[in-house]
């Protein structure tokens, strides 16, 4: 008779545990949740304290029967789903299905899948945590109450198939509000003046920026002001008036938590949050390392704690000392503080063994697995290394009534940066070190050049996946296990689109957001949603009752629902008068909402069914320098059902259109076509020859009319990557690539 039944979520984890536990235990996988609220109905009894009506998930009946069969001959059942709220709910439902008075039901938490951790969890099992299960249950019911009661209103008022989510809609709101900030931003012109200088006995020149003019902080609003100051300073003497040197430190970063891993994987590896979590899950559950068998390479990847076990710290400190020497080992371990409310029961994301260096396991991992593992490994090791030291020199230069400043930074000790440097969200911020030549106070300098430069204040940046996750985290929206799902959902629903790595709200997203914000001012409020996340945390900690929390939420929400059903704008039936005239019958046109956004329709419908696109609809029309081949009018870029295309601006008088030209000639020998932009049936943009089907040349990356400097191929391609735009040669054998 076996010692017990161990139930985990993933079949992949079964293989790894079997290696550690041998034949003493029967190990089965639930393959995720086995029970959930029913599809197609609310599944929550509003009259009986929000009692959920769980049903067996389709296809999971067979798994439940197998678990029951496996539990018959054992006394001890060890429930080992993932150590988070979702895992607790899975464990709870399994216990309800297969537990009875004759069985010992234990909860085991595998924070890492290593032999030591697994055996320790089995030998020291715990109990199911009711408060953790209730926190998950409250979240699930909250999401169901919002989704299943708000979405039908959107179906009635806008169109079928739309969805509203308690957290996803707040994420859309953040993207929409940022876009409006950008649209409302008024750029201001300003100028700078840079002096290129050189010491009398030095061959090295350096730049200094004008900071003060006639005793005040310099402000040059236009070219005339900049040129006037430039003229006044072209013939004066320049000399060093002050030199200040300061020691600066850059401290190492803590090991990864979920959100930081997702952000950094996007910056450095161009991984989406979903892809990052999918790969991390595999690294956690176990990878076949040949003779070592299945080994879990990282600790549990859904965590908001930066805590690290004493044993792991000791191991990494020994490794640092052996590899880099005493100078790269702090006297005491570096200690980091988790944010308020973090679940300290979990560790940060780290390698399970410091001995499994990335290069040692590289041959067993695919390219993406290795890249993510190396990122985690480097960050963890660097977190226990000393700070980097720099010497910053600030030189003040006097030139008559002007003060110029030059700043140089010289690395003194690399510290943790010998191994790891964090990526940047916006490359324009730039943290590169600049060196200055040796200078002395009173030294007279030679002016080589005085350069005025025009600038404009910039609007806020649009969110990337990394910065949106950061924004959600800072505002308390969502938790480690939900960030990837939130981003995937708002893209899938068509509320936002990703363009060159940045989030843009769609016309649909803005419309739905406006309707929800007006009709549900509390539920989709950012602060309200953050407070609800805190309440869920308090339920888990046993500080709040889950039913009371749902009642506090539902009473005002129910009133909003009733009001919205009556007073929400009926966009679907709305007919907005316009001055446009129908080409067919001369009636006035009205603006209506359809599957692809707003369009113009004849007011005499159904007698006249004429429709046309709204000019400038949702920003979907962009002017170009191209000319119409039929009437010579300027061409504009429009967005239609099958993506972007060029159309005559003289529409409807001229209806000429053609595919969007990239300006790149087809490279196929004997073909005189150009490469144009197209879109697949699933909406993915690609580029192909305009002469299709006679020429089938096509590629995914956007071609740009720049000759390859390495092999002279007629064009390069570009794609967003690693925090910037990557240019490369499309010829595989060439290998040329460069970042902007």
Q: Could you give the angle at the alpha carbon of 575 between the alpha carbons of 570 and 579, nearest 5°? A: 150
Q: Is residue 571 part of a domain?
A: no
Torsion over CA: 529, 535, 536, 537 (sign): positive
Peptide bond into 445 cis (omega under 30): no
pLDDT at 433: 63
- Which tens digit of pLDDT belongs to each residue from 680-734? 766 678 889 888 888 889 998 888 888 888 888 888 888 765 445 678 888 888 8
Helix, strand, or coil (residue 143) = helix
Burial of residue 250 (CB within 10 Å: 0-12, 13-18, 19+) is middle
In this structure, the answer to whether residues 31 and 177 fall within a common structural domain is no
In this structure, the answer to whether residues 274 and 366 fall within a common structural domain is yes
Please name the residues in contact with 633: beta carbons below 8 A apart, sequence gap of 6 or more.
627, 648, 649, 650, 654
pLDDT at 725: 62
pLDDT at 344: 64
pLDDT at 623: 57
Q: How many CB atoms lie within 10 A of CB 400?
A: 13
In this structure, the answer to whether residues 691 and 709 fall within a common structural domain is no
In this structure, the answer to whether residues 450 and 477 fall within a common structural domain is no
In this structure, the answer to whether residues 435 and 548 fall within a common structural domain is no
Which of 383, 411, 438 marks a domain boundary?
A: 383
Q: List the catalytic residue out of 25, 54, 106, 300.
A: 300
Residue 417 sits in a domain whose CATH number is 2.70.20.10
In this structure, the answer to whether residues 321 and 466 fall within a common structural domain is no
In this structure, the answer to whether residues 509 and 542 fall within a common structural domain is yes
The pTM (predicted TM-score) of the whole model is 0.78
- Has 300 been annotated as catalytic? yes
Q: Is residue 146 part of a domain?
A: no
In this structure, the answer to whether residues 392 and 379 fall within a common structural domain is no
Q: Is residue 149 part of a domain?
A: no
Residue 489 sits in a domain whose CATH number is 1.10.460.10
Which of 563, 587, 622 marks a domain boundary?
A: 563
In the chain (740 residues long), the average pLDDT of successive 10-residue segments reads 87 89 91 94 96 95 95 93 93 93 92 92 95 96 96 93 92 95 90 94 91 95 96 96 96 95 93 94 94 92 92 96 95 90 79 95 95 97 96 96 95 94 63 79 95 93 93 90 91 88 91 95 92 94 96 95 95 91 92 87 93 62 69 76 73 80 84 84 79 88 84 84 67 76
Q: Is residue 141 part of a domain?
A: no
Q: Is residue 652 part of a domain?
A: yes
- Which tens digit of pLDDT belongs to each residue from 298-354? 999 999 999 999 999 999 999 999 999 999 999 999 999 988 766 666 899 999 999
Residue 369 sits in a domain whose CATH number is 1.10.290.10
Which of 84, 110, 128 marks a domain boundary?
A: 128
**720 DSSP β-pair partners:** 725
In this structure, the answer to whether residues 65 and 112 fall within a common structural domain is yes
Q: Which two tokens stand for residue 634?
A: 């300027």
Q: Is residue 142 part of a domain?
A: no
**634 DSSP β-pair partners:** 627
The candidate with the shortest Cα–Cα distance to 218, out of 394, 406, 405, 449, is 405
Q: Is residue 140 part of a domain?
A: no
> Which three-class secondary structure string do you get for 96-125?
HHHCCCCCEEEECCCCECCHHHHHHHHHCC
Structural domain including 82 reads 4-128
Peptide bond into 243 cis (omega under 30): no
In this structure, the answer to whether residues 247 and 392 fall within a common structural domain is yes
pLDDT at 432: 52
In this structure, the answer to whether residues 504 and 618 fall within a common structural domain is no
How many structural domains are present in the chain? 6
pLDDT at 618: 41
pLDDT at 283: 96
DSSP 69-94: HHHTT-SEEEE---SSHHHHHHHHHH
In this structure, the answer to whether residues 294 and 343 fall within a common structural domain is yes
Q: Is residue 490 part of a domain?
A: yes
């Amino acid at each position: 008779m076996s010692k017990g039944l161990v139930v985990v979520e993933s079949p992949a984890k079964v293989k790894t545990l079997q290696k550690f536990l041998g034949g003493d235990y029967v190990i089965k996988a639930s393959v995720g949740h086995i029970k959930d609220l029913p599809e197609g109905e609310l599944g929550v009894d509003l009259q009986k304290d929000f009692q959920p009506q769980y049903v067996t998930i389709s296809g999971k009946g067979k798994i439940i029967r197998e678990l029951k069969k496996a539990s018959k001959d054992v006394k001890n059942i060890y429930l080992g789903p993932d150590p988070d709220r979702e895992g607790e709910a899975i464990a709870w439902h399994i216990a309800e299905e297969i537990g009875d008075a004759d069985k010992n039901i234990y909860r085991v938490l595998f924070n890492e899948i290593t032999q030591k951790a697994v055996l320790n969890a089995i030998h020291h099992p715990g109990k199911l945590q009711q408060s953790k299960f209730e926190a998950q249950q409250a979240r699930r019911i909250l999401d169901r109450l919002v989704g299943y009661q708000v979405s039908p209103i959107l179906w009635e008022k806008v169109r079928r198939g739309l969805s509203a989510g308690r957290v996803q809609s707040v994420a859309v709101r953040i993207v929409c509000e940022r876009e409006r900030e950008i649209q409302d931003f008024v750029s201001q012109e300003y100028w700078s003046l840079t002096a290129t200088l050189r010491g009398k006995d030095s061959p090295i020149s350096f730049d200094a920026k004008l900071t003060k003019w006639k005793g005040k902080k310099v402000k040059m609003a236009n070219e005339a002001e900049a040129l006037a100051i430039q003229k006044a300073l072209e013939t004066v003497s320049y000399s060093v008036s002050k030199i200040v040197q300061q020691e600066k430190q850059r401290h190492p970063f803590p090991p990864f938590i979920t959100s930081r891993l997702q952000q950094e994987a996007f910056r450095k590896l161009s991984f989406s949050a979903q892809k990052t979590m999918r790969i991390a899950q595999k690294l956690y559950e176990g990878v076949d390392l040949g003779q070592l068998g299945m080994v879990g390479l990282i600790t549990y990847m859904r965590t908001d704690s930066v805590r690290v076990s004493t044993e792991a710290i000791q191991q990494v400190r020994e490794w640092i000392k052996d590899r880099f020497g005493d100078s790269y080992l702090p006297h005491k371990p570096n200690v980091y503080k988790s944010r308020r409310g973090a679940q300290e029961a979990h560790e940060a994301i780290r390698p399970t063994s410091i001995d499994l260096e990335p290069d040692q396991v590289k041959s067993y991992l695919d390219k993406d697995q290795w890249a993510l593992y190396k990122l985690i490994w480097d960050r963890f090791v660097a977190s226990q290394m000393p700070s980097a030291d720099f010497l910053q020199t600030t030189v003040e230069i006097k030139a008559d009534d002007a003060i110029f400043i030059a700043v140089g930074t010289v690395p003194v000790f690399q510290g943790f940066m010998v191994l790891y440097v964090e990526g940047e969200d916006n490359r324009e911020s730039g943290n590169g070190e600049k060196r200055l030549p040796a200078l002395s106070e009173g030294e007279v300098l030679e002016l080589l050049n005085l350069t005025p430069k025009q600038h404009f204040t910039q609007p806020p940046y649009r969110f990337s996946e990394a910065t949106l996750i950061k924004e959600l985290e800072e505002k308390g929206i969502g938790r480690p296990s939900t960030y990837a799902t939130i981003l995937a959902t708002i893209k899938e629903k068509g509320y936002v689109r990703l363009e060159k790595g940045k989030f843009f709200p769609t016309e649909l997203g803005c419309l739905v957001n406006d309707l929800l914000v007006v009709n549900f001012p509390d539920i989709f409020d950012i602060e309200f949603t953050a407070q609800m996340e805190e309440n869920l945390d308090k339920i888990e900690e046993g500080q709040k009752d889950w039913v009371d929390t749902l009642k506090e939420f539902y009473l005002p929400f129910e009133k909003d629902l009733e009001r919205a059903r009556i007073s929400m704008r009926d966009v679907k039936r709305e007919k907005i008068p316009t001055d446009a005239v129908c080409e067919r019958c001369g009636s006035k046109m009205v603006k209506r909402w359809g599957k692809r956004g707003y369009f113009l329709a004849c007011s005499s419908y159904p007698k006249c069914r004429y429709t046309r696109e709204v000019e400038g609809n949702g920003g979907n029309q962009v002017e170009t320098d191209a000319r119409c081949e039929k009437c010579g009018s300027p061409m504009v870029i429009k967005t239609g059902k099958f993506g972007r295309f060029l159309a005559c601006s003289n529409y409807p008088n001229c209806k000429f259109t053609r595919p969007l030209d990239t300006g790149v000639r087809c490279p196929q020998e004997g073909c005189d076509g150009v490469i144009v932009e197209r879109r697949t049936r699933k909406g993915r943009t690609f580029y192909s020859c305009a002469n299709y089907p006679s020429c089938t040349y096509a590629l995914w990356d956007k071609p740009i009319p720049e000759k390859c400097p390495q092999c002279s191929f007629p064009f390069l391609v570009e794609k967003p990557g690693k925090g910037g735009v990557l240019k490369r040669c499309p010829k595989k054998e060439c290998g040329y690539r460069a970042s902007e």
